[in-house]
Structures are given as structure tokens and as C-alpha cells.
Amino acid sequence: MSDTIENTGAAADAAPRRGRNEGRGAAARRASRAGGGPGPSMPYIQRKIPVYEVLDEEALQLIERNADTVLEEIGIEFRDDAEALALWKEAGADVKGERVHFPKGLCRELLKTAPSVFTQHARNPMRNVQIGGNATVFAPVYGPPFVRDLEGNRRYATIEDFRNFVKLTYMAPSLHHSGGTVCEPVDIPVNKRHLDMVYSHIKYSDKPFMGSVTAPERAEDTIAMCKILFGDDFVENNTVTVNLINANSPMVFDETMLGAAKVYARHNQACVLSPFILSGAMSPVTVVGTLTQILAEVLAGASFTQLIRKGAPVLFGTFAASISMQSGAPTFGTPEPSLVSYGAAQLARRLGLPFRTGGSLCGSKVPDAQAAHESANTLNMTLLAGTNFALHSAGWLEGGLVSSYEKFMIDQDQLGMMQKMAQGVDTSVEAQAMDAIREVGPGSHYLGCAHTQANFQSAFYRSPLADNNSFEQWEVEGAKRIEERANALCRSWLESYEAPHLDPAIDEALLEFIAKRKNSMPDAFS
């Protein structure tokens, strides 16, 4: 516990190359003083704190029974995929048109071959992550077509932004995973951009990453690039990508998602089977109703991966938000999605599947107190629910339409706090501090005592962004809000970025593959 925090601080003092902006602003100076440099990455979280559970046994059984009823009586649609329907028929399901009805217990039986814990390999083995069990892995925002840049503009994202978020994620000590579509590089044709995205993850980071799911052939390209990076056999026998397969809720899997899922499962790569739920629109307005549908969808979708390849890793995913009945807009960080996610985590554990939910979700347009409250409510839940894979953990703004540089910096700081929190309470003799209490005694203070001197470096999480100075000091330094400090810190990180070493032969092979693939395609921007 202590070590990681201690190292972060220590390395920060030594690390920063003095960039142009760094010498100037008070915020940059503070960041440097406070250990704001990008310290060494921390390993994925191994939670030493218990999970928080909101559903009792009775409620859990009720939901499981109801989900079984949904699966059997209503069924799930597998659209435009004859292979999927044939596989379900063969497995014993009752297939009527594209609607698949599942005999009780079929999905659970199939899921027995799915691992409850697996390793996702990174090109740097130090960055391998455990998915499942007591592990929590933080990954950045996924999907936004827009960015809020460091000049304050809201504009379409570019590949340059994409690279920047990969770099920032690489540098952020508390992000364990490079994620996937950290933003949509809309300046690259839609049919080609997956190649640049996967390449950016490989080139600018050494953390594990996600593959393309927007078409089966793009999933195949991802696999091909992974094989160049890791070797053919390694990919077939290990998991090197985690891939987001959304259910088209309610109760539909479409051709695109099924196509990508089949490619990944076939190659032993992990799928995150995620109902994408705005309660009140894609599911009932109630928590239990929503959980029932989520469980049914995950049971159908996750067990499908086992029809493709027994033992292929698959996660129980849940993206939960509510919908404003006034405006129709999604809302985040409110109590109901938290209850849904807590409940889904329990259902996942009972199913023996790793669980994905949460992150730092918000609906705000700017990184203000609304954004922070919504993100913090979501993130606290994410940790305490025992989430194994937390997408959208940094940079998410405006309901996922925008990747924000400033919010990314603020979020990654909060992730560091969660990682410290997850270490729980040390009860060693040193931590008991009885000698310190004896030494200090009534009416004195602990600031200078031996125990404090020996332990303070590792005792408290040190935020590089929070300003806890006096009002007067803060005013002298320009009365800056946290997003201004985040802006300065972000600039200084990007200036000090250094790419991790990549074997030039691999790099060349990847670039060659990309060029060949791109040459075979017309430009398509939609």
C-alpha cells in the first residue's frame, strides 16, 4: 500500500522535464511541489476492502427467477445472424424467427465454462491486469465524438486528440488500462480509423487496451495487429484485448455486435457483454425491473460467447443511467443507477463472471461541481460494488459526448484516491501507533513525533490538484479553480511525455499492415 503512493511522490519530485509552460504558472509550480508529475503507474487494484451489497438473498433470487422467465417466455432477439440462430438451436434453445427462447438453466449451464478470473496481457508484462476476483482495473472514457480541448473549445475529436488521451492514460499512475475509443478520431475515415486507434494504443502506451467492435472485419484487423505485437500462438492462447459488446436493449443483439463478439470469442479474446441501459427508455423505470432485464440480456449474450468458444473470457457488463422524464436526456450519478449497478455486481458474482460498470459518469457540459458530484457518486459506487473493469473512469463529460482534457486530469486524481481507499486499514503494530500515543500524550501534537516522521510519506493520499492552502495564498496564486490547475498539469504532462520503447521491427510490421489494409479500402466518412 505505502510503497506505491510513496513512489509516486518520490518519482514526481525527480521526473519532470521542464517544459515551456512549467516554469510559468503558479499552478504548474504547485503541481510540481505537490508531486503532480506523472509518477510510475500503479498495478491494478487488489481490493482489501469488502464489497457493498444492497440486495438481500430474497431479492437476488426474485430477480434471477424473473430473468429466467424473461429468457424462456419472452426471449431475446439475435438479429441478422443465421449462424447465431443455428448455434442456439443446436444448443437446445427454442428459436422462433430471430427470437430465441431459452429453457431454464441453459444459459447458466453454458456459462460454467467461462472463467471467473483471467489475465489481460499487455505488451509490457508489468502492465498485465487481472480481470475478476478482488481486482479493479480503471480504463479511460470510451466513445466521445467531441473533445473539450485545453483552449476551452468544444470541437470534433481528431487522431491527435486520440493520441493525447492515450499518452495521458499511459502517464496517469491510477489508470491501469489504455481503454479503447478514448475519443472518435473523426478526421480519419470511419472504415480506417480503427487501424490508427489500435496502433496508437500499441505505439504510445504499454498498457493493455481494447479492440474495435464496429464491424467483424475491424475486429479481425485488431486480432491481426495483436498477432504482430504478441505473436500468433500467444494471442490464440491468451487474452490480449477486452472488447465492448453492447446489447441493443431491450433484449436485442444486433449483427454488428454479434459479428464482433464472434471474432473475439473465437480468438480467446474477452467480451464485455453490456446492456446499455437508460432506465425508463431501454428498461423499466424501476431498479428491480431493470436488473431483471439486464440479467436476462447478459445471460443470453455472455453464454453465446461460450457457444463460439468454450472458455473464452466474458464479463457481465452494465451501463446504467436514468432518463429525465422531462427532457428525455440521460442523467448520471443519481441514486437509481447506483442501486442498479450495486445489484448487478451481486448478480455477476453469483454467476461467477467478472463485472464491469461505472466510471466517472456525468451529464454536465463543463467540469464543474455538477460533473464532479455525478462522477464521484458513480465512482464511489464503482469501487464499493467490487467492479472489476471500470470503463469511462477518466475524461468523460456531457453524457459521453465529450472527452475532456481537464476532466481527465481531475478524474485520474480521484482514481488515485480510490486506489488508496481500496487498500483498506493496516492493523500492523506500526499502524497501531501506541508508542506515538504514549510519546505525545494529552494536550500535545503529533506533527513532530517519531511515528509521524516515519510514516507520513505513505500515510495520506497526496492530490496533485486539490488546493488546500490558505485563502490568502490561493488568492495570491491567482484564485484558480481546479480545472485551471488541471489544464496546467495536463499541458505539463503532455510536454514531458516519452513513448515507451517498441521494437522497431514490430512497429514497422504494424505500419506495413495498416498501409496495406488502408490501401484496400475506399475512404468512408460515415
User: Among 112, 335, 476, 515, which residue interacts with a copy of itself (rule: CB under 8 A)?
Assistant: 335
Rank residues 208 and 330 by Cβ distance to a copy of itself and give the closer one.
Answer: 330
Residue reference for cell 464543474:
368
Query: How many CA atoms within 13 Å lie on the side-chain side of 276?
Result: 12
User: Among 29, 101, 108, 154, which residue interacts with a copy of itself (rule: CB under 8 A)?
Assistant: 154
Of the candidate spans 130-138, 208-216, 229-237, 439-447, the one that interacts with a copy of itself by CB under 8 A turns out to be 439-447
Query: 467-487 b/e with 16+ CB inside 10 Å = b?
Result: beeeeeeeeebeebebbebbb
From CA 208, how far away is CA 170, in angstroms rounded? 10
Q: Which of residues 373-432 bind a copy of itself (CB under 8 A)?
A: 373-377, 380-381, 384, 398-399, 401, 407, 410, 414, 417-418, 420-421, 424-427, 430-432
From CA 243, how far away is CA 246, in angstroms rounded? 10
How many residues in total does the chain contain?
A: 526
Tell me: does residue 279 bind a copy of itself (CB under 8 A): yes
Rank residues 150 and 224 by Cβ distance to a copy of itself and give the closer one.
Answer: 150
| Sequence-ordered list of residues with C-beta below 8 angstroms from that of 143, at least 6 positions apart, any chain | 181, 183, 184, 400
Q: Across the beta sheet with 396-397, what order do the strands follow? A: 154-156, 146-148, 402-404, 396-397
Of the candidate spans 116-124, 165-173, 268-276, 357-365, the one that interacts with a copy of itself by CB under 8 A turns out to be 357-365
Binding mask 212-251 toward a copy of itself (x if CB under 8 A, else -) reads ------------------------------------x-xx
Tell me: does residue 284 bind a copy of itself (CB under 8 A): yes
Task: Tell me the one-letter amino acid at 354.
Answer: P
Sign of CA dihedral 373, 374, 375, 381: positive
Tell me: does residue 282 bind a copy of itself (CB under 8 A): yes
Q: What spatial distance separates the first Cα and last Cα of the chain, rounded to whole Å?
A: 47
Rank residues 79 and 518 by Cβ distance to a copy of itself and give the closer one.
Answer: 79
Tell me: does residue 10 bind a copy of itself (CB under 8 A): no
From CA 451, how far away is CA 200, in angstroms rounded? 46
Rank residues 361 and 510 by Cβ distance to a copy of itself and give the closer one.
Answer: 361
Shortest Cβ 242–a copy of itself spacing (Å):
26
Tell me: does residue 156 bind a copy of itself (CB under 8 A): no
User: Among 116, 134, 334, 496, which residue interacts with a copy of itself (rule: CB under 8 A)?
Assistant: 334
User: Among 39, 180, 280, 464, which residue interacts with a copy of itself (rule: CB under 8 A)?
Assistant: 280
**Bond prior to 250 in cis (omega within 30° of 0):** yes
Shortest Cβ 414–a copy of itself spacing (Å):
6
Q: Which cell is 169 given? A: 492514460
Shortest Cβ 516–a copy of itself spacing (Å):
39
List, in sequence order, every residue forming a beta bridge with 130; answer none if it has no partner.
119
User: Among 117, 150, 215, 433, which residue interacts with a copy of itself (rule: CB under 8 A)?
Assistant: 433
Tell me: does residue 172 bind a copy of itself (CB under 8 A): no
**Longest C-alpha distance within the chain, in Å?**
79
Q: Which of residues 28-57 bind a copy of itself (CB under 8 A)?
A: 33-34, 49-50, 52-55
Q: Which cell is 298 given? A: 447478459
Closest-CA residue to 208 (of 176, 172, 184, 161): 176
Rank residues 265 and 415 by Cβ distance to a copy of itself and give the closer one.
Answer: 415
Rank residues 475 and 523 by Cβ distance to a copy of itself and give the closer one.
Answer: 475
Tally Cβ neighbours within 10 Å of residue 358.
Answer: 32
From CA 110, how far away is CA 353, in angstroms rounded? 12
Tell me: does residue 338 bind a copy of itself (CB under 8 A): yes
Q: Which of residues 454-483 bind a copy of itself (CB under 8 A)?
A: 455-457, 459-463, 465-471, 474, 479, 481-483
